[in-house]
Structure 1
Amino acid sequence: MSTRIDLANAAKARSAPPLRDRMWASRTDYLFLVPGLLIFGAFIFWPLIASFYYSTLNWTGFGANSEYVGLANYRELLRDEFFYSALGRSFLFMLATVPFQMLLSLVLAIVLNNKLLKLSTLFRAMIFLPVVSPVAVIGIVWVLMLSPFNGPINGFLLDGHIIARAIDFLGSPQLVLWTLAAIFVWKWTGITLVYWLAALQTVPDELYEAARLDGVKPWQVLIYMVLPIVAPFAVVIGLISAISALNVFPLIQATTGGGPYFSSEVMEVYIFRTAFAPASGQFPRLGYASAAGVLFGLVIMGLTVLQAIAVRRVRRKEG
């Protein structure tokens, strides 16, 4: 039987037209890929290649005068304390946001996944609304709300005698990063909620019905039935959230710009400052900033590879 199958497959392979002929026959379909490939090449592929090239130059980014320095920018980066501080803040920000964001969104997803809950669609839309709101607008609104002078949050705390004097949430080096982490969680919990809701949809309804007939308590259904089923999704959701937390430039730039005293300067803000907004008396260093961007990109790429490995292992265990 196996010999016949092999012979049939071989016959099909011989009778199939060559790849070139099949591509030519589908040439109209491939034309629809051209716009997407052009956009990908112009805004993704070319900037990646250019960043590697610029990282080998001593160049301000203005004018044609540049000097090839090889790996000198990378060697200088490895001795730059501001680089390590910004990299450390990026990972601290990630560790401060991802676990809380995943736990909060999981709890909300479990509550909103209850079919008996009225207006669950409205609640989902309200939680998801910050996700689709522009980051620049959100940054300005939160700066006004957290203002120590006339901000409503400080006003509420003072009127309630919870604090004795106004708190400068975005102006205190000790509080600014944690305040930005809270704003980040508030904005992006909605998208993580969608991931968890999709994971909860994989739990069969028959499981809930069987548990109800057997008299199993709701918390037992959650712990012993639902969570083991959705646990493999946590790997993917966690790594997606981690990569998102490392790309927090718009929020920080719209609120603090990396201040005060570099206390909220994460890697993306460090790269931007070095390339386009250096300190007083310094010149822009696009080549040096490109080297920092390359190293940071390799870190994110490592997380992406980790995600792929984790997903593959989870699938093997499921199989």
Structure 2
Amino acid sequence: GYTVADPHTGRTWHFADRTPDLAVLEQIDDRNGNWITFENDAEGTPLAVTSSGGYRLTLTVEDERVTALSLAGADPDGTDQLIKRYAYSETGDLTQVLDSADRPLTFTYDERGRVTSWTDSNDRSYTYEYDDQDRCIAEGGEAGHMALRLTYEDTDPATGHRVTTTTTTGGGSHTYRYFIDALGQVVAETDQLGHTVRFTRDRFGRVLTRTDPLGHTTSYTYDDTGNVISATRADGRAVTAEYGDFNRLTRIRGTDGNTTRHTYDARGNRLTSTTPSGHTTRFTHDEAGRLTSVTDPLGHVTTVRCDRAGLPV
């Protein structure tokens, strides 16, 4: 098997080999010891999900598709309580999600398997239209209070970039043109008044500079893990940031030179926040990393109690 770790969130995904061509997700955990485990059969079909928060979900699977989700032992008689049911078309498209009261969320599709609408349990619908290249060209609600149209233009002769135009209606019409480079990155956007904001980006898509319609440029720098460490305005004044373990923000210095500081425990949970004036707010957490108290600079304490699932009680 193998693991995938996210240095920003502290989460780790654990996969187990089932066949030379199949690895299934077995567990997700975080730096506070919270975990979710997944049970699968020999073919990798999911059967159950169990959380360190104390709940267990069981899955009903038919024809390799999940058709029901239940909370184990939650019914008054001790049996599993049905939470969701799922229905599919003959081609495998999800057509309905029904809650425990059988209220449906319904989806429709065209002959190419593209979602053309969804209708919620209040019978309110939202629709989609596509062109012959499978690009969405329109979407909106049935009452017209929310609507979006998209047009995809040929390459702009002046810049060599592709152009996508969006027009929203409902509560006023707004049109924006987006200029997209060969890497699929937005490098400029123009509003309906002709005002243009321009961007430069690195190979990861991160913004390096942003130039407003007046020509003022703000530049950004990043550390090796992608955290923003500085934002410098056109006048040369900068906001800078520093990070500690788990990519947690430890210090931010404003353009006026004032600094805010944060400290954390060994698992990345915030312990203190100190303002530029020296006022400190303190935080405590339980063994699972859940917030248990906040003490303001005057010593006033707010206590937070949570259940095993992490929900405030």
TM-score tier (shorter): under 0.3
Higher strand share: 2
Q: Whose relative contact order is higher, 1 or 2, with alpha carbons under 8 Å and at least 6 apart?
A: 1
Q: Under a length normalisation based on structure 2, what TM-score does the superposition of the two structures give?
A: 0.17
Higher helix share: 1
